[in-house]
Amino acid sequence: MHYPIKTIALAVGISIALSACVGIRPVAPSGTPMSRTSNLALGNPSGAGSNDPNNYLISRPQYVLSFSRDRGLANWVSWVLSPVWKGDARRTNDFRPDLSLPQGWYAAKPSDYTNTGFDRGHLCPSDDRDATPEDNAATFLLSNIVPQAPRHNREVWKNVEEYGRQLMEMGNDVFIIAGASGGGGTGQNGYATSLAGGKLTVPATLWKILVVVPRGTDATFMVTENTRVIAVNIPNTQAAADKPWRAYVTTVDALEQLTGYDFLSNVPTNVQRIIEARIDGGAS
């Protein structure tokens, strides 16, 4: 059937006017639902893969990480904290080299930390993975470990880790990304830039992002502009423990500027703009 052009134009104009009157607005894209069991649910912050030796992806059931051959450390580690991963398995203390690294790469040894004044500090914590002895042992692979000032590790960083588990006990799943940036930290024996004859970088700072998602029966979840996102950036020094962890809260935007990574990339961009600019001090 043929309609005159003027008639079509009039109909379109009336439709636009009616839409404005009733307050119809374009709907923002909701994004793809994210898996509650995926350690990379929020995205791959650095686009890690198999080609770049300083952004090398290692995926395990317990966590996923990006490894830097030149630094001898993980750039970041990503994991899910939920009751599925919690149990009564004992801490294994089985610090050992990660033999899954490509041939020819240096794999840190426990002795690399001996008498250095730095702890073997976890990124994905032992206590976040104690459902089975195998899960716990995976956290002691030295690719998940960084040289950490002892008081930083045992006090202020430990308190951040415990807060994440408190959030889980309050009925949430917590999606976590933690990493180490820069070079040069102050341990028990003073300032150092590297260990193991330069093979392991001592990071200048350790940072962490916690995304708090109320637990549900659905296999997927969505991050909204109301989702709690807690970010911290803590200098790798003994003195860092003189302050509570809340003194180091920051924004995801600030951590992106520090690292060059794109965090929460699986979240719709209109939501990212809101939650990545917000500071959450973890008061509740």
What are the residue numbers of the active site? 122
In single-letter form, the type of residue at position 105 comes to W
Q: How far is CA 39 from CA 59, 111, 121, 142, 219, in A?
A: 9, 30, 20, 19, 14
Task: Compute φ and ψ for 68, nearest 5 degrees.
Answer: -110, 115
Q: How far is CA 12 from CA 9, 16, 19, 20, 163, in A?
A: 5, 6, 11, 13, 55
Rounded to whole angstroms, the Cα distance separating 46 from 272 reads 16
Rounded to whole angstroms, the Cα distance separating 111 from 99 reads 16
* Helix and strand numbers, DSSP H then E, in the chain: 6, 15
The answer to whether the beta carbons of residues 215 and 173 sit under 8 Å apart is: yes
Q: Kindly report the length of the chain.
A: 284
Give DSSP secondary structure letters for 26-51.
PPPP--PPEETT-TTTT--TT--BSS
Rounded to whole angstroms, the Cα distance separating 167 from 173 reads 8
Give the H or E element holding residue 161. helix 157-169
Q: Which of 31, 59, 60, 282 is nearest to 172 (CA)?
A: 282
Rounded to whole angstroms, the Cα distance separating 214 from 205 reads 30
Q: Which of 44, 49, 40, 65 is nearest to 138 (CA)?
A: 65
